[in-house]
């Protein structure tokens, strides 16, 4: 056997391994090669060609005969000993790659079918995925939860934050999210479940895990549950910490969502006034308790959300976005159609530790129109 023959054999064997093993694995396992530029293009090209030519054998592409054996345009040359050996090898290669190609095509067809079932929607905005707090469309959710979520997805929202499940089981909620190509990083859970005891809170955590949430968030305090003194707020901080620790043990993260009453000063030590919100920030462990800043309510309370994020960096993992009409009313309005400087707020996300943003509009005469208007504004930002 000559050196040239050995070299050819090595090259052919290397290509055989790539074609028979590496390519099908990349396609069947849907290996993410998007960051590799040309590799991503090659992967998709090979996937298309596998499916387009799956009935053709790889032997056809490699054998050394003259002419087109399908059309019979020219006769094959008499086979040599090396040709026979190569044909035997390529026949084996053909059987291997046929199996790999078939699996790849099956995977491609399955993925294509799943993709075609997803709602068509605008691309992800330049500022990143935008979520919706479903409290905004609570009336629609109560009447038609599947239809409402499909409409929300079609507008372009990628993430949802729940505020109740309207009688659906965790498995049903998870399936509904998957069907619409959505995720739900967070859910609002009443503090009553935390106060009811370990078992009730654990059930809420188990449900959150089954749905696929990452965060469990306390959304508000009823007027009668709001502490009147600094010590009362410290006790609340201890309650939140207990719930956060149990959430952490269950593989979940914990957050508190504000309104404006947390910025009304209460008597503190020595008679000095204390802002309850800042007390909660200082009295809780940053590794256990996160905060979901509602930018509207911070603004309505006369505070500066950007300054707050700067003074407590890394504590605000989620934002609620809704706008305010001019003073003195400061009513709810669509994002970008009020007085809040959204480009400045969103520019501070990195320092604040923000991972998710959710549009929310507590009241609207037409919630679907409102969430579309807010989304379109956010999608226009650079």
The strand pairing partners of 266, in sequence order, are 274
- Looking at residue 270, its pLDDT comes to 76
- Looking at residue 116, its pLDDT comes to 45
The answer to whether the beta carbons of residues 216 and 247 sit under 8 Å apart is yes
Could you check whether the bond before residue 328 is cis, i.e. omega within 30 degrees of 0?
yes
- Looking at residue 118, its pLDDT comes to 59
Alpha-helical regions (H) of the chain: 3-17, 23-28, 38-52, 58-62, 81-117, 138-143, 145-155, 170-179, 191-195, 198-211, 230-249, 276-283, 295-300, 305-311, 342-347, 349-352, 367-380
Angle between helices 170-179 and 145-155 (to 10 degrees): 30
The answer to whether the beta carbons of residues 59 and 90 sit under 8 Å apart is yes
> Which is the CATH superfamily of the domain at 131-380?
Divalent-metal-dependent TIM barrel enzymes (3.20.20.150)
- Looking at residue 9, its pLDDT comes to 59
- Looking at residue 98, its pLDDT comes to 43
Q: Where in the chain is the domain with CATH 3.20.20.150?
A: 131-380
Q: What is the pLDDT along the chain (382 residues), one digit of tens a residue?
A: 565 555 545 555 666 545 454 444 444 344 444 334 334 434 444 444 434 343 333 333 333 333 333 333 333 334 444 444 444 433 443 443 444 444 444 444 444 444 445 557 889 999 999 999 999 999 999 999 999 999 999 999 999 999 999 999 999 999 999 999 999 999 999 999 999 999 999 999 999 999 999 999 999 999 999 999 999 999 999 999 999 999 999 999 999 999 999 999 999 877 789 999 999 999 999 999 999 999 999 999 999 999 999 999 999 999 999 999 999 999 999 999 999 999 999 999 999 999 999 999 999 999 999 999 999 999 999 8
Predicted TM-score of the model (pTM) = 0.71
- Looking at residue 13, its pLDDT comes to 64
């Amino acid at each position: 056997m000559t050196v040239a023959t050995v070299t050819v054999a090595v090259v052919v064997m290397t290509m055989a391994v790539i074609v028979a093993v590496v390519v099908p694995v990349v396609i069947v396992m849907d290996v993410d090669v998007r960051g590799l530029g040309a590799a991503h293009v090659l992967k998709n090209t090979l996937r298309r060609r596998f499916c387009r030519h799956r009935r053709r054998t790889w032997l056809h592409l490699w054998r050394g005969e003259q002419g087109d054996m399908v059309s019979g345009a020219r006769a094959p040359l008499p086979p040599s000993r090396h040709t026979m050996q190569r044909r035997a090898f390529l026949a084996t290669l053909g059987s291997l790659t046929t199996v790999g190609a078939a699996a790849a095509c099956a995977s491609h067809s399955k993925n294509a079918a799943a993709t075609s079932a997803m709602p068509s929607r605008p691309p992800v905005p330049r500022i990143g995925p935008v979520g919706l707090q479903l409290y905004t469309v609570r009336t629609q959710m109560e009447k038609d939860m599947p239809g409402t979520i499909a409409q929300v997805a079609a507008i372009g929202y990628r993430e949802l934050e729940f505020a109740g499940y309207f009688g659906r089981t965790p498995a049903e909620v998870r399936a509904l999210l998957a069907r619409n190509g959505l995720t739900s990083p967070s859910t609002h859970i009443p503090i009553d479940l935390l106060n009811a005891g370990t078992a009730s809170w654990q059930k809420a955590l188990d449900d959150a895990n089954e749905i696929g949430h990452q965060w469990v968030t306390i959304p508000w305090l009823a007027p009668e549950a709001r502490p009147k003194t600094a010590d009362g707020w410290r006790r609340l901080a201890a309650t939140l910490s207990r719930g956060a620790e149990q959430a952490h043990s269950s593989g979940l993260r914990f957050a508190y969502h504000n309104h404006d009453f947390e910025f009304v000063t209460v008597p503190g030590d020595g008679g000095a006034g204390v802002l309850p919100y800042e007390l909660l920030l200082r009295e809780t462990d940053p590794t256990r308790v996160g905060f979901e800043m509602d930018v509207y309510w911070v603004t309505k309370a006369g505070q500066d959300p950007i300054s707050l994020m700067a003074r407590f960096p890394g504590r605000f993992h989620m934002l609620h976005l809704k706008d305010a009409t001019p003073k003195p009313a400061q009513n709810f309005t669509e994002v970008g159609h009020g007085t809040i400087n959204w480009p400045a707020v969103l520019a501070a996300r990195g320092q604040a530790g923000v991972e998710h943003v959710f549009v929310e509009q507590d009241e609207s005469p037409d919630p679907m129109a409102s969430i579309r208007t807010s989304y379109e504004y956010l999608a226009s930002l650079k």
